[in-house]
Each structure stands twice: as C-alpha cells, then as structure tokens.
Amino acid sequence: MVGIRFRRNTRNKPAQSQRDSYEAATETHQALSAWFLGPKAENSALLKEHLTGIVDRIARARNDYFPQDPAFITAKTQSSEPYKHELDDLQRYIMLITDLLSRYSVPTFSPRYAGHMCFDNAMPATLGYLAAMLHNPNNVAVEASPLTSYVEYCVGQQLCKMLGYRIRNDAAEDGCHDESQYKGWGHITCDGSVANLESMWCVQYFPTQNID
C-alpha cells in the first residue's frame, strides 16, 4: 500500500513484544481507519459505543410512540422460568454461531487476505444496516418504508451520477420516448443474480443508449 511502512516482528519473539504495526503516512489512510472495525478489532470500543447508542435511541423512540400504552413485556414476564429458558437458549446459540463464524469464515478482514472481491464491512454500513433492520422497513412500497425508500432513491441517483448517467431535473419523464432524454435511476436488489438479470434487460431494451 502506498505511503505505509511495515514493521515486522518474527514469530519467535516473546509474547510481550510489540505486535506488528502499520505506520500510516497519509491522511487518507488515517481517515479510512475510522471506517472499519480493524484487522485486530482496534475499533471494537467504538463499535460497541455506536451499537449501544442505536439501541438506546430505538428504545426511546418506541417508548415515545403512544407513551400511555402499558408495557407488553412486563417485569413479571421477564422473571418467569419460560422467559429465562429462552434467554439461555438465545445466549448459547449466539455464542455458538459467533464462535463458528470466527473459526471457519474467510478472513476478509485481514490485509493478508486479498483473494476475493469481499473485504471487511465498513462500520457505517454495518451500523446503518442494524439501525434499519430494527425498524424492519419493507421497500416494496413507500407505505411500508417512507424513509428508506427515499434513501434508496437518493443512493440510486448518486450511483447514476457516479457512472455518468443523466440525472438532471430537465430530463424526460413519463410519456417521452426520446432515448436521448431518458433519466437514469436505480434501486436496491436482493442479490447479484437479480442485478445481473436486470443489466441484461437494460442491454436488450436500451442497446444504443449513450452516456453523456
């Protein structure tokens, strides 16, 4: 990596010796370091802080929704044996799946691994995904996702702009068949297969469309 100097320790050094470290000589590397958990989970405290903040904000929002409504999961329920039994199961399986994933997953988080298009998830993506999923929006219709559908539209427009497609407000809208005036758009797909199929659909129906 340009601008980064490596200091290596041999494996035979004592356990108390300094770990391998990277010295960043660029502000870009320093800025990007705030985006990721890190190969050694260096930003784990930061991730925990944001996770706690997300849960706290969502809890506050749920309590503010018809605050006069009584609690549904009461203290009596939380102290019951069936409740505790399910919590024990939850804890056990969370630990199990986390351990299995840590042991058998591909180490895409490490700079030593560069054999696939995958890389470590950015913390903004991970935290944004968690925050959205706890609200369970359904982007199939705006009625079920008033905010995330709008965000989806904005992201689609940003991608169109990045790729050079027209997004001007004066581009043609409904009823216009002049291909030179079509306005770019995009949406989130459920997987790469659907995205590839849609790309083939675009090639079939817009084979002469130019990017300007």
* Residue 6 is assigned to a structural domain of this protein: no
* Residue 12 is assigned to a structural domain of this protein: no
Let me know whether 99 and 192 are in one domain. Answer: no
Side-chain-side CA neighbours of 24 within 13 Å: the count stands at 9
For residue 32, pLDDT beyond 60: yes
Q: Which domain holds residue 63?
A: 25-133
Mean pLDDT of the chain: 84
Residue where a domain stops, chosen among 114, 133, 152: 133
Residues 128-145: what's their mean pLDDT?
93
Let me know whether 47 and 116 are in one domain. Answer: yes
> Could you read off the pLDDT of 168-195 as tens digits, one per residue?
654 445 555 565 667 788 888 777 888 8
Q: Which residue has the tokens 């930061």?
A: 46
User: For residues 32 and 112, is the Cβ–Cβ distance under 8 A?
Assistant: no
Residues 50-71: what's their mean pLDDT?
97
Alpha carbon of 13 to those of 16, 39, 110, 112: distances in Å?
8, 21, 21, 20
* Residue 96 is assigned to a structural domain of this protein: yes
Q: Residue 209's pLDDT is what? A: 56
For residue 81, pLDDT beyond 50: yes
Residue where a domain stops, chosen among 98, 133, 168: 133
Let me know whether 152 and 122 are in one domain. Answer: no
Let me know whether 102 and 168 are in one domain. Answer: no
Dihedral-angle region of residue 168 (phi above 0 means left; psi in -120 to 50 means alpha; beta otherwise): beta
Report the number of distinct structural domains present in the chain: 2
d(CA 147, CA 61): 15
Let me know whether 104 and 57 are in one domain. Answer: yes
Q: Give the global pTM.
A: 0.73
Residue where a domain stops, chosen among 74, 106, 133: 133
* Residue 113 is assigned to a structural domain of this protein: yes
Residues 132-158: what's their mean pLDDT?
92
Q: How many CB atoms lie within 10 A of CB 38?
A: 16
Let me know whether 30 and 48 are in one domain. Answer: yes
Q: Residue 136's pLDDT is what? A: 94
Residues 94-119: what's their mean pLDDT?
90
Let me know whether 116 and 183 are in one domain. Answer: no
| CA 185 to centroid of chain Cα atoms | 21
Let me know whether 37 and 103 are in one domain. Answer: yes
